Chains A and B, each alone.
Chain A
Amino acid sequence: MTTNGKPKFAMYWAASCGGCEIAVLNIHEKILDVDANFDVVFWPVAMDAKYKDVEAMEDGSILLTLFNGAIRNEENEHIAKLLRKKSKILVAFGSCANEGCMPALANLTPIDEIVETVYSTISTDNPQNIHPQASYQAPEGELTIPKLFPIVRTLDQVVDVDYYMPGCPPESHQIAAVIDLVIQVLQGKAELPPKGSVIGAGPSTVCDECTRKRGLKTIREFKRIQDVQIDPEICLLEQGILCSGPATRSGCKALCPAAGSPCIGCYGPAEGVLDYGARLLTAVASVIDSNDPEEIQKIIEGIPDPAGMFYRFNLAGSLLRASKPAWDIK
């Protein structure tokens, strides 16, 4: 452990894909500012460090920890609690830590079924039908792996979180801005925002940042992007493409709609939105152009998977959090 007097920085990945780490490295030469101003003490993807090194640190000795990833298993939970104890500022970094993201779509399925699908279905080459066990008695002693929890949780469902930084992954310019801010705070030139703030994102919606032309929305049919020719200038929702812009927090500069692809909602709920899926569902359903119950239901068939669509990034952070078969274990 170095003792060069610089404040300590840590970054951890729990149930995540590694995209957040790449986004951090995408700040290019600004990463040198991180190195100049911080002593990186723990960052499994970038350097060798052991959990016992973190356990040996003094409580509160890490100034800033960026925690990405959801809480899927006992190891994730253990490190979340450990880093909470050791860190002054704990940031839920990226969609997984904030709201569950892709890993939390597993909350639609009971854990037994997920394990079964992974190890036993016809597409799996597993002739001995080996399933993972939490502990195994080997001749050399007991071997253990972290136990899977029944449902995926967000970071703040497990520990107290100081700041929330959304995005899948957070945009690099936003990361750079946040790092700049922290460095200015260290130099006494700025103050930290109030605890619990969402940082590195805007207060409004993606629609607010989107440059497409908006008119009156009426939807007769939901279309899939690969089946139609997209008009390059008109609002995607008006073209029948399910776009998550109306419910999603701004901050990304509406990159996807600008490229002709709908917003998928990776920046999570906009300011004041309690349940992301409910807000998006409201926006989408309200503009269905029919007053006839049967016709409405027929148009809705164009959304084959509403739970996956409206909670693509937000299931663990939603009001219901998981499907009943997933949480209601016997």
Chain B
Amino acid sequence: MTESFEPIIIGFTCNWCSYRAADMAGTARIKYAPNVRLIRLMCSGRLDPTFILKAFADGADGVLVSGCHPGDCHYVEQNYKTMRRFYLLKKLLTQMGIEPGRLKLLWASAAEGQIFADEITKFTEEVRALGPLNWNPEKGFVAEGHQINHVEVPA
């Protein structure tokens, strides 16, 4: 691992709490690691695990899932579904050789800008310590000079 490794982190936020927490961190000019690319969804329950797998497959080193605190969901109970999927997905990712530390669940209310910022910085350092993921199932074929028939994956 080189010192210049900057982890790429995809962060999924919900419209009502965690994105507002990020907004709050912004308006309060709280500094946090610039490694995270936030994607706003209406609800963490909208987060199809496909998005997380696609993020890892396409080069992310870490994925952050964030939403309203349990009990505070704008859509009543969808963040509980997120929670259930999160634990099962984490178990599956471990079998695929992706360290559990590359996927993080963070509950943040609209008032928790500071917590949101601190947790992102902390997560960035954790992922940095794990090193690059560089997901590339074709690696062995490229190494042997095979031509790769690249299949376009629809977005």
Chain A residues engaging chain B, CB cutoff 8 angstroms? 107-108, 149-151, 156-160, 274-275, 277-279, 281-282, 284-286, 288, 290-291, 293, 296-297, 300, 303, 305-308, 310, 318-329
Contact = CB atoms under 8 A, between A and B. Distances in A.
A286 B85 contact: yes
A297 B86 CA distance: 10
A320 B54 CA distance: 8
B145 interface: no
List the 6 shortest-distance A-B pairs measured between CB atoms, nearest first: A324-B97, A150-B140, A307-B95, A278-B49, A278-B50, A321-B137
B92 interface: yes
Tell me whether chain B's interface is mostly helix, strand or loop, or mixed: helix
Interface string B132-152: 010111111101000001010
Interface of B: 48-50, 52-54, 56-57, 70, 77, 80-81, 83-85, 87-89, 91-92, 95-98, 133, 135-141, 143, 149, 151, 153-154
13 contacts: A159-B149, A274-B154, A277-B53, A279-B50, A281-B88, A282-B49, A290-B84, A297-B87, A300-B91, A306-B95, A320-B135, A327-B139, A327-B140
A293 B50 CA distance: 22
A306 B91 contact: yes
Given A288-B84, A303-B88, A323 B149 contact: no
Contacts of A324: 96-98, 133, 135
B32 to A, nearest CB: 25
A73 B14 CA distance: 45
Contacts of A320: 53, 56-57, 96, 135, 137
A326 B95 CA distance: 11
A99 B52 CA distance: 20
Contacts of A282: 48-49, 85
A322 B56 CA distance: 12
Contacts of B87: 285, 293, 296-297, 300
A274 B61 CA distance: 21
A158 B149 contact: yes
Contacts of B96: 108, 307, 320, 323-324
A319 B140 contact: no
Given A275-B49, A275-B50, A281-B49, 4 more contacts: A291-B77, A291-B80, A296-B83, A320-B96
B84 A319 contact: no
A40 to B, nearest CB: 28
A76 to B, nearest CB: 13
B92 A156 contact: no
A278 B56 contact: no
A158 B83 CA distance: 38
B153 A319 contact: yes
B136 A319 contact: no
B116 to A, nearest CB: 20
A318 B53 contact: yes
Contacts of B97: 323-326, 328
